[in-house]
Amino acid sequence: MTNKLNFRKITKLLLLISILSACVKDQDYATPTIDCIESTIKITNTIEQVKQMYTYGGSTIIDSDVVIAGYVVSSDKTGNIYKTISIQNTPENPTAAIKIAINQTDLYTKFNVGRKVYLKLKGLAIGYSFGSIQIGKVVASKLEPISSFEVDKYVIRSCEVAEIVPKIVTISDMDESMLEMLIEIENVQFRTSNIGASYGNIKNTSTVNRVLESFNNNCNILEEIVVRNSGYADFKNEILPEGKGSVVAIFSNYYDDLQLYIRSTDDVKLTEDRCDYSNALQPTISLKEVREMYSNNMVEFGNENKYVVEGYVISSDEDGNFEKRMILQDAIENPTAGIQILVENNSIFENFTIGDKVFVKLDKLYMTRNNGILTIGYPKGNEITEIEKEEAGAFIFNSGQNYTLIPTEISIADMKFQTYENTLVKVSDVQLVENELGSAFTFFSGENNGTRTIETCNVSSKASIFTNGKASFANEKFPSGHGSITGILSSNLEMRHFKDIQFTEAYEVCPVIIPKIMITEIADPKNSVSARFVELYNAGETEINLTGWKLNKYINGAISISGSPIDLSGITVPIGGFVVIANSGYAAIFMDTPTIESTYISGNGDDVYELVDNTGIIIDVFGKIGEDGNGTNWEYLDGRAVRNSAITAPNSTFTISEWTVFSDASNLLITNPNTSQNAPDDFSPRER
Angle at 96 between CA 90 and CA 100, to 5 degrees: 95
What's the average model confidence in pLDDT over 429-449? 96
Calculate mean pLDDT across residues 634-656.
97
155 in the same domain as 54 = yes
Quick check: is 32 in a domain?
Answer: no
Give domain status of residue 29, yes or no: no
Domain boundary, last residue among 224, 257, 275: 275
Domain assignment present for residue 27? The answer is no
Whole-number Å distance between alpha carbons of 296 and 381:
15
In a domain, 546, yes or no: yes
The kind and range of the H/E element at 394 are none
Residues 408-426: pLDDT tens digits?
A: 999 998 888 889 999 999 9
Q: Within this chain, do residues 657 and 525 fall inside the same structural domain, yes or no?
A: yes
Q: Are residues 271 and 287 in the same domain?
A: no
pLDDT of the residue at 33: 53
Q: Is the pLDDT of residue 432 over 70?
A: yes
Residues 78 and 198 in one domain: no
In this predicted model, what pLDDT tens digit does every residue of 170-202 receive, in sequence order? 999 999 999 999 999 999 999 988 899 999 999
Distances (CA, A) of 326 to 244, 340, 617: 29, 6, 39
User: How far is 194 from 432, CA to CA, in rounded Å?
Assistant: 45
Burial label for 236, CB within 10 Å (0-12, 13-18, 19+), is buried
Give yes or no for residue 128 having a pLDDT over 50.
yes
- Residue 512 included in any domain: no
**What is the span of the domain harbouring residue 313?**
280-402
Query: Is the separation of the CB atoms in 122 and 150 below 8 Å?
Result: no
3-state secondary structure at position 69: strand
Give the model confidence (pLDDT) of 254-281 as tens digits. Answer: 988 899 999 999 999 999 999 988 778 8
Q: Which of 6-20, 26-40, 552-566 has the lowest mean pLDDT?
A: 6-20
pLDDT of residue 34: 57
CATH number of the domain that residue 363 is part of: 2.40.50
Domain boundary among 379, 402, 425: 402
Q: What is the dihedral of CA 386, 387, 393, 395, to 10 degrees?
A: -110
- In-domain check, residue 24: no
Interatomic CA distance for residues 518 and 538, integer angstroms: 6
User: DSSP strand E in 79-124: where?
Assistant: 84-88, 97-101, 115-120
Beta-bridged to residue 214, according to DSSP, are 188, 223
The answer to whether 178 touches 169, Cβ cutoff 8 Å, is: yes
**What's the rounded Cα separation, in Å, for the pair 463 and 147?**
73
Give the pLDDT confidence of 444-485 residue by residue, as tens digits.
Answer: 999 999 999 999 998 877 899 999 999 999 999 999 999 999
Q: Do residues 90 and 213 share a domain?
A: no
Instruction: Calculate the average pLDDT of the chain.
Output: 92
Say if residue 271 is in the same domain as residue 286: no
Same domain as 541, residue 633: yes
How many residues belong to the chain? Answer: 688
What's the average model confidence in pLDDT over 302-326?
A: 95
* Number of separate domains in the chain: 5
Q: What is the mean pLDDT of residues 599-617?
A: 93
Sign of the alpha-carbon dihedral angle for 331, 332, 337, 340 = positive
Residue 599 lies in a domain: yes
Residue 257 near residue 194, CB atoms below 8 Å:
no
Rounded Cα–Cα distance for residues 673 and 92 (Å): 102
Residue 21 has pLDDT above 50, yes or no: no
- Indicate whether 7 belongs to any domain: no
Are 567 and 467 contained in the same domain?
no
Is the model's pLDDT at 63 over the cut of 70? Answer: yes
Q: Which of 161, 196, 229 is the last residue of a domain?
A: 161
Reported as a pLDDT band with limits 50, 70 and 90, residue 22 is very low
Residue 2: DSSP 8-state: H
| 634 and 588 assigned to the same domain | yes
Q: Assess whether 95 and 219 both reside in one domain.
A: no
Same domain as 536, residue 575: yes
**Cα gap 382→393, rounded to integer Å:** 25
Res 685 pLDDT > 50: yes
